[in-house]
Homo-oligomer: A and B are copies of this chain.
Amino acid sequence: MIIALSGGIGGAKLALGLSHVLPPEELLIIANTGDDFEHYGLTICPDIDTLTYTLAGLDNPHLGWGRADESWAFMQTLAALGGPEWFRLGDRDLALHVLRSHRLHAGETLSVITDDVRKRFGIGLRILPMSDDPVRTQINTDKGWLDFQDWFVRQRAEPLAQAVRFAGVEQARPQPALLDALRAKPRGIVICPSNPFISIEPILAVPGLREAIKASGAPVVAVSPIIAGQAVKGPTARMFEALGVTPSAAAVAARYGDLLHGFVMEHGDDAAGIAPRVFYATTLMRDLADKINLARQVVAAVDAL
C-alpha cells in the first residue's frame, strides 16, 4: 500500500498519476480537510472534491476547481436573490455539497460519505479525509485572523499570510483507516506536490499522525511543489516569502524536516542543503502522460529507499 497525502489540484494530479500505476487496493489517498468550511448552510470540502472530480475524470482543468461539465443557474439565481457570490457553486457540484451536508447533519462521518461518493463516481481507490473531526485552517494577516476560504477565495490570497493555524486540530482524531494502513507496513508514504503550509501541514498536525507515519517504518517521499523558485499554482511561494524564506525546493524539504527519506524535485533545481535523498524528475504535470511518468518515478523513489 502506498499512502499519498494530498491537498487540492497539485496533489490530485499526482494522485491521478498514481492511480494509473498502482492497483486501487494498493493506493490510499489522504485528503486535507483544513480548507473545508461552512458556507451558506453547506459543508464544502474543496480538497476532497478536487481529488474526487480529478480521479473521476470530471474535473475542470481550466478553473482548477469544480467540474468541467458545469452550469450556473443556481449561482445566477442566488446572486439575483442577494446571496453570496464570492464562492461559486455550480449546479452539479452543488449536489455533492447538499448531499454531504445533509448526511453529515444526519450523523454520518465524512469518511463514510466520501467513500460512498467516490464509489458512486466510479473511483476504484479510496479517498479518505485526514480526520472525521472538523479542522479549519485560519490565516493571520494584517486584517487579523481570516478563515481560510475567506482569505484564499474571497480575498484571493492577497493579504500577506503571517501565520497559519488549524482550529480544532487538537481535538481531531486521525482517520482510523489511515492508522490501520500505517500499522500494516505500507510500501511507502508520498507527500504530494501540494502547499506545505495549508495542504500538508494540517494533515501532519492531526495529533498522532506524524508519529504514526514515523512509526510505520515506511519510506516517506515528498514531491516539491516549487519549481525554479515558483509555485506551479497558488500562494506557496508567497507564503515562503512572508516567512522571510526564499521559495525553493530546498525550502520545502526543510519544512518537512526529518520526516522525509526522499525528495523528488525538478531537474536542474538546486539540491544544496537538502537532507533526504534527492530524486530528480519532471515534476511539472501538464498532461496525463506527465502525471503517470511522475507517479512512476515517485514509486521508484519509494522503492529505492
Contacts and interface: CB of A to CB of B under 8 A. Distances in A.
Given A71-B71, A91-B71, A116-B82, A40 B98 contact: yes
A96 B120 CA distance: 27
Nearest to A113: B81
Given A73-B90, A77-B94, A80-B95, 20 more contacts: A40-B98, A41-B98, A42-B98, A71-B71, A71-B73, A73-B91, A74-B91, A74-B94, A74-B95, A76-B92, A76-B95, A78-B95, A78-B98, A80-B120, A81-B96, A81-B99, A82-B116, A83-B95, A91-B91, A98-B98
A199 to B, nearest CB: 25
A105 interface: yes
A156 interface: no
Number of copies: 2
Interface string A94-128: 11101101100100000000001100100000000
A95 B116 contact: no
The binding surface of chain A is classed by DSSP as helix
8 contacts: A41-B102, A70-B73, A71-B91, A73-B92, A77-B91, A80-B120, A83-B98, A83-B102
Interface string A32-49: 000000001110000000
Interface in A4-51: 40-42
Interface size class of A (residues with CB under 8 A): 20 to 34
Contact of A117 (B75, B81, B101, B102): B81
A95 to B, nearest CB: 4
Interface string A61-95: 00000000011011111101111000000111011
A95 B76 CA distance: 9
Contacts of A94: 74, 77, 94
Contacts of A70: 73
Given A71-B91, A91-B71, A91-B74, A81 B41 contact: no
